Amino acid sequence: MRKRILSALLAFFVAFGIFIGFNRDVDAATKYSIKINYTANVVTIYRYGKPYKAMLCSTGKATPHKGTYKLSYRYRWHGLKGGVQGQYCVVITGNIWFHSVPYKKQSVSAIKRAEFDKLGTSCSMGCVRLMVRDAKWIYDNCKKGTPVTFYSSSNPGPLGRPRNYYLNGSPGYYAGWDPTDKHKNNPWPKETYYTKYTFNASRYLHYNPDIRQTVGQDTLRLKTHWIARGLNEGRRASDEFDVMFFKRMYPDLCEGIKNNQEIDKYYIQTARAAGKMGSELSPKLKPAFDASYITANNADWKSQYGTGTTALWNHFVDVGASSNIQTSPIFSVSYYKKANPELAEEYGDDVFGYIRHFLEVGMKEGRQGSPNFNVKAFKDQHPELKYGNDYVKYFNYYQANYKKVAYTNPEPAATPDPAATPDPEPAASNDTAATNDTDTKDAVTNDAQPANDQPSQAPAEQDAAAPETETTAPVEEKQDAVAEDASNAVADYDPDEKAAEKAFEDEANAEVEKDKKQDIINDTEKGKQKDETESQNDVA
């Protein structure tokens, strides 16, 4: 009797356990349902009948136009037609599967980026292609038996149509990766030497408001757009760096660098540490362009362009070297151009050239940058500063303290009547006047003979000083060193990038091998694997 009771209880619990397990399987299979709008190329996931998630997809000619099917087998990686591979493959019916965009080989860094860019169009031969993020979500969450319904409508679905990420144009460091892949080695979500200091999503929208409608506001999508397209279009994505500013400020450093992406990388890796300016907002530009000084002394500019440095700078560049306004307490581009006529052959009306020359050469040599400030006179008037012959420190001190520091501008050398003072020696002995600076005087004297034995591409400071002066030699040597650094940096790009890519790919492939061993196919489906092998040939 006792045995019968025990047997009955055992049978009850076994049956109850089976019932509970069965209900769990049913619940897992019916928790989600999937609808595929093959016309709009949108997959909509429903959770207990309510719209839950929308995914951009690509369908094709053989995609069912109607009908409901149930998910069955799934594969972490699987071969597809054309000798390519797919990630997170789940069988819908026959040879119609969910899977990622095709990969050239079984490696997470080998995606076919041209095919990725086609997402949202009908480009497969029947399978439903998805971003890795979406294919993996279905692979992980939609169990065997989940219903999948195909239909056609011009309305994408209750959650709308997601945007794509575009890869064509992205540098090799990124090109083989799906931006949505959560793999730890995926460079897209990371801060790399293409984006450190030079990309910020909100500033990208600020400087490029036109992309809000086409790209949206998603940070990763904006980053992908900038790296793959926007950067080479000359678009700006940070306050610190504007590739067009950098190219115009340092044309010699950018010469030979193949595109804006590499210039961006060069700035991050080399030029920034060398003290080069990345945009008009750089503090290093202030001795030549001080927005607060401009607006305080030019009411019309302030009323038209406000007090923002960028708006004022853009107008200043448009006006060019013809602008007579003084852009800082110590600099006026029009004055500097007139005081150094030998620079005209090199720079013409290029404000970038004159500014660069003043900041890198003129300040060091003590050249006068504006009609109302002579650094040599300021040095004589303030012996307590004790900067020696470091004119840059005197310039910077006055720039920062001009409102409160004492300074008397010397009388111009031309004030005495030339007829009454035919002897030029007194004027030449007064080194505090801008027109009597030795370098400037020599340059003006030689300006009548522009033809000389120096090549036109020689550094401007070579033309600016008499041949026998020695003050320009250190400057020339430094510029040669900077140019050499730039050349070396460009030469180092490809090996560094290939090494980084190789390290990424090796680790990624190791992860793939581990995944293959663990979950290529569900253990519960091994008995039916043979029957399904005919469905493995999808068209990528």
Give me the pLDDT at residue 164, please: 93
- Asked whether the beta carbons of 126 and 535 are under 8 A apart, the reply is no
Token digits for 51?
């719209």
The predicted pLDDT at position 508 comes to 60
* Count of structural domains within the chain: 3
**Could you tell me if 196 and 310 lie in one domain?**
no
> Do 103 and 183 share a domain, yes or no?
no
Collect the ranges in the chain with pLDDT lower than 50.
Answer: 14, 18-26, 413-496, 521-524, 526-540
Task: Give me the pLDDT at residue 412, please.
Answer: 62
Query: Is the same domain home to 92 and 135?
Result: yes
354 and 481 share a domain? yes
Backbone torsion region of residue 216, taken as left when φ is above 0, otherwise alpha when ψ lies between -120 and 50, otherwise beta:
left
Output helix, strand, coil percentages for the chain, rounded to the nearest 5: 50, 10, 40
Residues 407 and 376 placed together within one structural domain of the fold: yes
In this structure, which long-range contacts are made by residues 391-397, counting pairs with CB atoms below 8 Å and at least 24 apart in sequence?
391/363, 391/364, 391/365, 391/366, 392/363, 392/364, 395/287, 395/330, 395/363, 395/369, 396/287
Q: Domain limits at 219? A: 172-247+255-261
- In this structure, are 158 and 180 located in the same domain? no
Stretch (H or E) spanning 32? strand 32-37
pLDDT attached to residue 358:
98
Say if residue 419 is in the same domain as residue 484: yes
Residues 235 and 118 in one domain: no
CA distances from 26 to 20, 22, 29 (A): 10, 6, 5
Are 409 and 441 in the same domain? Answer: yes
Predicted TM-score (pTM) of the model is 0.73
Query: What CATH number is associated with residue 95?
Result: 2.40.440.10
Residue that has been written with the tokens 């510029």 in this structure:
479
> Are 58 and 83 found together in one domain?
yes
Residues 228 and 285 in one domain: no
Q: What is the DSSP string of 148-185?
A: EEEE--SS--TT--PPP---TT--HHHHTS-TT---TT
285 and 209 within one domain: no
The whole-number pLDDT of residue 5 equals: 63
